[in-house]
Amino acid sequence: MVLSTQDTAPDFELPGTAGTDISKYRLQEYTTEGAVVLVFYPFDFSPVCTEVLCTFRDSEFLTFTDDIDVFGISLDGCYAHQEFIQEYDLAFPLLSDTKGRVTEQYGLAYDEWEHHEGVPKRALVTIDDSNTVQYMWHTENAYDSPSLETLHQTILSLTDED
Q: Confirm whether 54 is a catalytic residue.
A: no
Q: What is the per-residue pLDDT for 47?
A: 66
9-22 pLDDT, tens digit per residue, is: 999 999 999 999 99
Q: Is 83 in a helix, a strand, or coil?
A: helix
The alpha-helical segments, DSSP class H, found in 89-139 are: 101-105
Domains along the sequence of the chain with CATH: 13-152 (3.40.30.10)
Secondary structure element (H or E) that encloses residue 84, with its range: helix 78-88
Q: Where are the beta strands (DSSP E) in the chain?
A: 13-17, 22-26, 35-40, 68-74, 94-96, 123-127, 133-138
80-137 pLDDT, tens digit per residue, is: 999 999 999 888 899 999 999 999 999 999 887 777 788 898 899 999 999 999 999 9
Backbone region of residue 116 per phi and psi (left: phi > 0; alpha: psi in -120 to 50; beta: other values): beta
Query: 126 forms bridges with which residues in the sheet?
Result: 37, 135
Q: pLDDT over 90 for what percent of the chain?
A: 49
30-75 pLDDT, tens digit per residue, is: 998 889 999 999 888 876 767 777 777 777 666 556 778 899 999 9
Which of 38, 49, 53, 85 is flagged as catalytic? 49
Degrees to nearest 5, angle at CA 124 with 122 and 129: 155
Q: What are phi and psi of 95, to 5 degrees?
A: -105, 145
Rounded Cα distance, 83 and 105, in Å: 27
